Structure 1
């Protein structure tokens, strides 16, 4: 795993406090695609359980996996009883039990590409559904977004996570849909977007940035300075655009 992939444990409580949750529309999107009740699900890289709650509170029996002990401890404080938790990276999961749904919430890009889809298929029932969802959280006002870009520029050119397979941002089908379309294990690949808007204080927005891997891997002195400079250019409250891109695919019976 990269330094950015394992940078979150130090900030588990901030992740829980500042990261936005997932709307009911996301569950409805997955359920409609499945075309049948979803009874069991495996979550990859569950973090503090933002998405875990969405599925578990709607009657799905969720097994939440997460490699970082601090994140997993925070998750256990917030998810409903009945959620099974496992400390493990995706690559460490052994084939055995199969699930009706396997999903990753803003976490799939931290998994290793080698054998990703055959491993994923081994965790799914034939006909089972794979879902990946997430997306960057942006400032809705372009002028404020530009001011923040300028403030962080001496320390950080971009806080984006680049596409793992190099898909250009203007291409219709984005990653991981691009990989799923090429995989012999999956069919009926679909991509959709769910709008998510919220307003928060400037201080909470900087708190949100403190959970973003690009900032977490900066030296501590630089990290605090970039947060200070960003605070100086923010209004008291900011509108956040955090649209969720959803990728769905169905496991083939046989590759």
Structure 2
């Protein structure tokens, strides 16, 4: 697992406070695709449980896995007691129990690509659903975005994570849909975008940046400088686009 994947624990409280949650309609999109009752679900890289809460409300038995102890401790503060929590990386999950749904919320890109889809398939019932949902958070105003880019430039060229398989942003099907379409284990790949704009204060936006891995791996002195520079160019309130791209696929029957 990349070092950046384990950089969030120190900021677990800020992650919970500043990261936008997921759209309330997200579970409905997944359940409509499943088109059958889903009784059990496994979450990969649950973080502080922002997605966990939504799926737990659907009445299914959710097992939330997370490799970082601090993130898992924060999750346990916010999810119902019915959620089973396990400290484990995806690669360390033992095959055995199978679930009706396996999903990852802004976490799949941290998993090891080697054998990724056979491992997911081993955790799913035949006909079960895999879901991945994520999306970058960007400033809606191009002028503000450019000012922030210039302020960040001495420290970071970009704070986004490139597509794991190199799919360009303009491609109709984005990752991981591109890999799912090529996988022998899955069929019925779908991609849906849930559009949304979120308003937040400049301070909260800087707080959000403090939870992004590109900044977390900078030396503390550089973090302080880049956040100060960014804060200086922000208006009092900013709008961010926080669209969520949902990828869905069904495990082939054996």
Once residues 88 and 240 of structure 1 are traced to their aligned partners in structure 2, the CA distance between those partners, rounded to angstroms, is 32
What is aligned with 1:246?
246
What is aligned with 1:174?
174
Once residues 54 and 107 of structure 2 are traced to their aligned partners in structure 1, the CA distance between those partners, rounded to angstroms, is 16
Provide the aligned length of Structure 1 versus Structure 2. Answer: 254
Counting only pairs closer than 5 Å after superposition, residues 88-237 of structure 1 correspond to structure 2 as 88-237=88-237
Q: Describe the superposition over 1:32-90 as per-residue Cα deviations: whole angstroms up to 9, x where unpaired.
A: 10001221100000000000001002212100000000000000000011000000000
What is aligned with 1:35?
35
SS at match of 2:25: helix
Once residues 228 and 36 of structure 2 are traced to their aligned partners in structure 1, the CA distance between those partners, rounded to angstroms, is 49
What is aligned with 2:21?
21
Give, in angstroms, the shift of residue 24 of structure 1: 1.8
SS at match of 2:193: strand
SS at match of 2:246: strand
Once residues 39 and 24 of structure 2 are traced to their aligned partners in structure 1, the CA distance between those partners, rounded to angstroms, is 17
User: Which runs of no fewer than 5 residues in structure 1 stay unpaired?
Assistant: none
TM-score, normalised by the number of residues in structure 2: 0.99
SS at match of 1:4: helix
What is aligned with 1:4?
4
Q: Which runs of 4+ in 1 moved over 3 A?
A: none
TM-score, normalised by the number of residues in structure 1: 0.99
User: Which runs of no fewer than 5 residues in structure 2 stay unpaired?
Assistant: none
Q: Describe the superposition over 1:109-133 as per-residue Cα deviations: whole angstroms up to 9, x where unpaired.
A: 0000010000000000000000000
Once residues 136 and 176 of structure 1 are traced to their aligned partners in structure 2, the CA distance between those partners, rounded to angstroms, is 14
Once residues 197 and 65 of structure 2 are traced to their aligned partners in structure 1, the CA distance between those partners, rounded to angstroms, is 28
RMSD: 0.6
SS at match of 2:81: coil
SS at match of 2:100: strand
